[in-house]
Structure 1
Amino acid sequence: MRVDQPVLSDDPILQHDLQLPDSWWADLAGTLQKVSVVDTDRVAVRQQYMQRAIPEFVGIPAPAVSCWTTAHSDLHWANVTEPLRILDWEGWGRAPEGFDAATLYAYSLNQPDTAARVRAVLPVLGSPAGLAAEATVCAELLQTVSRGDNFALDGPLRGWSEELCRR
């Protein structure tokens, strides 16, 4: 399938605040809800990874996953368009509830207004149910920083990690 709209960012990490209409955000929330209930045996996030990576990179024991749902699993600004189209589906599968919301939030951290909008539109973030997803995404991206990628997110990810430790 060919998509005519350009992606919202050339980089997964958002480089500038976006002025997206309320309808775009509503479409995003609705689409993620629809994806989350798709039945699949595909796995995007493994419990074993969470058990190892969250303590190592976030500094807390891996939170219990209260609900596994289906996720795109690579939801960032270089994979979405306006009007909303979500691209790059090869890694989709089961993940902790809120995984896509946490991923989009993480890639928004350098743009506080957009990050706040992600949190407002996707309220699983900050909830007890979303803690496992947030800790997993934070650990994944801190691991990429340790390997030499995503340096622009290093400080914000460490701040997020500290917040997760307080929860």
Structure 2
Amino acid sequence: MPPAVRRPRLHERQTWIDGEYAYLAELYDRVVAPTITRHSPVLRAAPDLDDTWWEELNSTLDAIAAVPTDRVAVRQEYLDRAMPHYLGVPVDTIAPAWTTAHGDLHWANLTGPTLALLDWEGWGIAPAGYDAALLHAYSLLVPRTAAAVRNRLAHILGTPSGRFAELVVITELLQTTTRGDNLDLEVPLRERLAGLLEEQ
């Protein structure tokens, strides 16, 4: 990752196979700053984040998106199958663009007041805007912060690619509700879905 990406420095990486299982271990710098939420990716109270934090998040997401990779975070086959099913309406499942994403950008993987992005095992290619859309979805229970995400990341979310990425993330999170997870997000996710469909 380029220096603009705010993440702990990777010191060592090892992989090994034991029978039918493959393992990966990575050793990073110790991170002192606390994560914005402690256990859940879902935000439940507005964090106190200054302009520098948001500017660094913006530059980090732009830098990640430009990293070339053959790793995959989101597969087209999943979009083709899951989007019509969980969104409940016929939608175009072809992303306007694909870029590299962190792949799990939520409030328990972000530190503050000093920014660092944690938990990198899922990074790879995803629909452009995926990280911003995921952070926005996990902010929906705190409308003030959800509005701040939309405002601060408007150059990503306020585009056709960003709106498509929101549909992808809503698909994924609505799927989790069928397993009993993120149940308190279901209503705001469906409300956001209705708004996005009206914009099309």
Tell me if both proteins adopt one fold, taking TM over 0.5 as the criterion: yes
Is the contact made by 1:60 and 1:165 (CA closer than 8 Å) also made in structure 2? no
Q: CA RMSD in A?
A: 1.1
Normalising by the residue count of structure 1, what TM-score does the alignment of the two structures yield? 0.96
- 5+ long unaligned stretches in structure 1: none
Q: Which has the larger radius of gyration?
A: 2
Shift of the alpha carbon at 1:60? 3.4
Q: Does 1:19 align with 2:51?
A: no
SS at match of 2:48: coil
CA distance in 2, matches of 1:109, 1:60: 24
Which of 40, 64, 79 does residue 35 from structure 1 map onto? 64
The letter for the 2-side match of 1:44 is A
1:85 aligned partner? 116
Q: Equivalent residues in 2 for 1:124-163 (5 A)?
A: 124-163=156-195
Which of 31, 35, 45 does residue 3 from structure 1 map onto? 31
User: Structure 1 vs Structure 2: percent identity of aligned residues?
Assistant: 50
CA distance in 2, matches of 1:137, 1:19: 25
Shift of the alpha carbon at 1:126? 3.4
Q: Does 1:110 align with 2:138?
A: no
- 5+ long unaligned stretches in structure 2: 1-27
Q: Does 1:45 align with 2:74?
A: yes
The structure whose RCO (Cα within 8 Å, separation 6+) is larger is 1
SS at match of 1:81: coil
Is the contact made by 2:76 and 2:94 (CA closer than 8 Å) also made in structure 1? no
SS at match of 2:126: strand
Normalising by the residue count of structure 2, what TM-score does the alignment of the two structures yield? 0.81
Is the contact made by 1:40 and 1:94 (CA closer than 8 Å) also made in structure 2? yes
CA distance in 2, matches of 1:157, 1:107: 9
Which of 69, 72, 87 does residue 99 from structure 2 map onto? 69
Shift of the alpha carbon at 1:153? 0.4
CA distance in 2, matches of 1:142, 1:62: 18
CA distance in 2, matches of 1:97, 1:80: 20
Richer in strand (by share): 2
CA distance in 1, matches of 2:137, 2:101: 15
1:100 aligned partner? 131
Tell me the matched-pair count. 167
Shift of the alpha carbon at 1:20? 0.5
CA distance in 2, matches of 1:105, 1:160: 10
Is the contact made by 2:74 and 2:127 (CA closer than 8 Å) also made in structure 1? yes
**Per-residue Cα deviation, 1:95-129 (whole angstroms, up to 9, x for no partner):** 01100000000000000110011111111213212
